[in-house]
Amino acid sequence: MVKKYRNNGAIGALLDEYERSINELKQVILNLTTYELTNIVDHETSDTDCRSIQSILSHVVESGYTYVIEIRKSLGENINYIRKELFSSTKEYADALEKMFAYNEKLFEDYPKIKLEEFDSDGKFKVRWGQKYDLEQMYEHAIVHILRHRRQIERFKLKLENENAS
């Protein structure tokens, strides 16, 4: 299969890499059982988004929408945040990840001339968790966010395999 790349410069590169990170995540969760998806793996964490693979995936999907909503709000749109949803299968999560990515692509369809970089700190937008970003930094954060949680899920899978082997 020949890889196709978007031809719109830095925006295309960000979208290509974001899509790649999502596709890699989908490969990691592809063959999970319901037990592996829903089982609490980390009993010590106080972060409810990081207790099971299911909670991680719900957090990843919600966050993917939140990043775009934060950008749209910074552009003056009056838009509500998406509520986190728990799904019962990896197929549903794969579909949710696809829809979330399409929502991200729509931003660039709606704003084809959007400015990616903002060097003046006053021109960056503040997000609800307190940090300030320009659009490029937000997308770089979004990509790495998926990579970090993909790694976390891979570690959870190993832990579950070790428990089952015992």
Domain annotation covers residue 21: no
The pTM score is 0.93
Asked whether the predicted pLDDT for residue 2 surpasses 60, the reply is: no
Domain annotation covers residue 13: no
Tokens linked to 96: 């949710």
User: What pLDDT score was predicted for residue 161?
Assistant: 87
Tokens linked to 117: 């970089």
Domain annotation covers residue 147: yes
| 37-96 pLDDT, tens digit each | 999 999 999 999 999 999 999 999 999 999 999 999 999 999 999 999 999 999 999 999
Domain annotation covers residue 25: no
Please give the share of the chain, as a percent, with pLDDT higher than 70. Answer: 98
Domain annotation covers residue 16: no
User: What pLDDT score was predicted for residue 3?
Assistant: 67
Domain annotation covers residue 18: no
Q: Work out how many domains the chain is built from and give that number.
A: 1
Q: CA dist 33 to 4, 54, 79, 89, 107, Å?
A: 32, 11, 36, 8, 34
Domain annotation covers residue 86: yes
CATH of the domain at 99: 1.20.120.450
The secondary structure of residue 76, as a DSSP letter, is T
State the number of CA atoms in the 13 A half-sphere of 87 facing the CB. 19
User: CA-based angle 127:45:129, to the nearest 5?
Assistant: 5
Q: Which residue range is the domain that position 159 belongs to?
A: 33-165
Residue pair 103/68 in contact by the 8 Å Cβ criterion: yes
| 138-160 pLDDT, tens digit each | 999 999 999 999 999 999 999 99
Domain annotation covers residue 11: no
